[in-house]
Structure 1
Amino acid sequence: MRKHTSRLLAVAVTAALAATPLAATAVPASAATASASADSFYAYDGSAPLASFEPGAVLKTRTLTYHLVGLPTPVRAIQLLYRTTDAQGRPAANVTTVVRSLTGDSTKAVSYQSFYDSLDPADSPSRAIAGDLSLGGLIPNAESLFLIPALTQGYNIVIPDTEGQSADFAAGPEYGTNTLDSIRAAVRSGATGMNADTRFGLLGYSGGAIATNWAAALAPSYAPDVNAKLVGFSEGGLLVAPAHNLKYVDGSLAWSGVIPMAVIGVSRSFGIDLKPYLSDYGLSVYRQLEDGSIIDAVGHYPGLTWKKMAKPQYADPNSVPAFVDAVNRVNLGSAPTPTVPGQIAQGNGGVLEGTFASPAGIGTGDGVMVAGDVRALARQYCATGNGAITYQQYNLLSHLGAAVAWAPTAFVWMNDRFANRPAPSDCGHIPAGNDLTPERAVPAS
């Protein structure tokens, strides 16, 4: 059944891509492909220390055929191995994929951040595009549908592996630096057709929204050169304060599997070991998902709670100092305010999911993301000097449904930013949200 579905998806998306004017980007069938299991492209093997390169420096380049669920399309993709910075401030190497403008326009580009949400590097967008097929990799394959409007409108497209090469799921700051250095690499590479005058828009939903917002927030300090090129960011289904989200999905039927995924990913990113605080059952779940994707988690652990995963004395996650430290580091409420216009969308129809209460709105969130947190962040941006923020709340839509509603509005909004039209604002009209102050540690029981 999975193979049949995958082939149908590939045929549908390939047909849609074939309907666009792709003749200029066609490549022979013998163009390079790659297997994630034995692909030396992903490892930096140069003689100079990685730290000797500036963030965004291009380390390797290759051109290959853009694949969908393992099937080649007429589209050419350029992949870059580039230098970036991980969540602990260490130099790292990462990969991004570039699809050049079909019209040859070098002035505009969209950086699209995928919601591939996985703890396995094999599920990254670059590997799916290179032709390697994995179950978790079906997500970035399906997302190709989101990119068709950008292709038909002449945009260059940049698709970073936002989670890095160790797949640090939910580690927002690392998502941000990977995204910003991907843009730097795309501009610096002579193979992409882009240059110092190319302007960029940031686009992403769910896990892609994490990368999009952290990139926008970190750009003024980490990459002012990139910030100067940004026209704005559009996102939906955003993770703001992970400690709230863990309470929200705690015990839910569908999304509770995100709890161990986030624990693993954030721990991996910051070099924190949370295993000593887990029960035997918690350790079992941890091992099952250590290399899993969102496909392995959602719906697989109905009713899972932190309390079931933790040793009795750590039933309150805030009694674990390492946990408190980790969730505070990835709380967007403590990150800087972006200086470019933003469009933020959020579903609020997941009323039956989770237990975290919100002071306003029909529901508490979309089933996995907390709407009150997203409203609070949008209001915070307005209050701290960014008056070009729009906020749309879909009160009847869940996390998946809101993605469908957000996508077409995102491209309309982004087109206006590239056209230099004044950015709209909802500041002063966004309903109240939740308290985003950092978590406080409590004694273990």
Structure 2
Amino acid sequence: MATATHHDHAHDHPEVTFDDVLAARDRIAGAVVRTPTLLSKTLSELTGAEVYLKFENLQFTAAYKERGALNRLLQLSDEERARGVIAASAGNHAQGLAYHGARLGIPVTIVMPQFTPAVKVQQTASHGARVILHGERFEDAYNHAVSLSEAESLVFAHPFNDPEIIAGQGTVALEMLEDVPDLDCIVVPVGGGGLVSGISLVAHAQPRPVDVIGVQSKRYPAVHNAIKGKDFGDGGDSIAEGIAVKVPGSLTMRIIRRKVTDMKVVSERDIERSISLLLEVEKTVVEGAGAASLAALLPKPNGVRSEFAGRKVGLVLTGGNIDPRVLANVILRDMARTGRLSRIAIILADKAGALHEVTKIFSDCDANILEVSHNRIFGVGSAKETRAEIEFETRDAIQRQALLDALAEAGYRTELIVLK
């Protein structure tokens, strides 16, 4: 989760132009991966749009943030390089700075909140950065980084509210439009606004209209709220922590207001579904923030397709740094929502053979039992009953319903335990 603070002033920054993005492309060429933009036939069929995916999760540090970080580092003076840079980041900006700083011989200090997962600390430190853990919230880490930059004369590298960062991120759109010149729109996950700002500068410079649509999590819709004059979003944990930004940048907001076509919000559930779809369909691992763009294209629960149907849409898969345990949970939760993994509670007589009779029905319906647990105290109406919870696999929701019907026909009382 990230936020800007009072150190973030619009008048501190010059305007960013399309020419700045072109210059950034030349500057970083050969040092970042020119990732592919590929048509997804399956996702196109699912959404009704012609969907092209920009695989920024294939960067060396598995995220687009390298582009802006490198563009920033390459414009330091020799004296600034010798002093080194500092940033506050618990994620991809940290790794991008650390990796390219090590390549260029520039000392890098990263301040992270104390709760930062150990894997992120280790990944950043493995690139040679000095990692300092400070404070419980990102704001604490950010303010400490600003203080250290002044105390130790380090160059502060803001994760998004910086012209050179924005110009570097805009190179994503240059590559997309080289590969697919007739895109109707580009859909971009938005946190602090660095990426969507850079992309919108490129889109506006095209000879034909290219819409830029920003997407945020419903839990952190700061840019959406500012643009639409709304006030919602409850914060809390988000699967898309890379775009969980409370306060966007002043410079990025200035660009977004002028050049971004529209802002959308998506649910945590749709972000989870998108992570699973990208894994299943494209065989690619994408973090929550990176899957938000696809979430905006998913059909509604009633089957109605989104307003993107019929359009040629580019989606930026911004990164692939997702915790393996979280990814495993996302996959299992998606299996539960689609009827492939289920749990039911069933009341049985507490006697020998009762469970055997039930499992035979599961076997007859080709359902695979994974786990069985018994409760003889809670949830039962008699000391002679037991409440069994059975977790099982089926091919889909149709096969699951056939099993539930067979259990009902045999006289069993069942309760499907649903995922929220």
TM-score using structure 2 length: 0.31
- Higher RCO by CA contacts (8 Å cutoff, separation 6 or greater): 2
TM-score using structure 1 length: 0.30
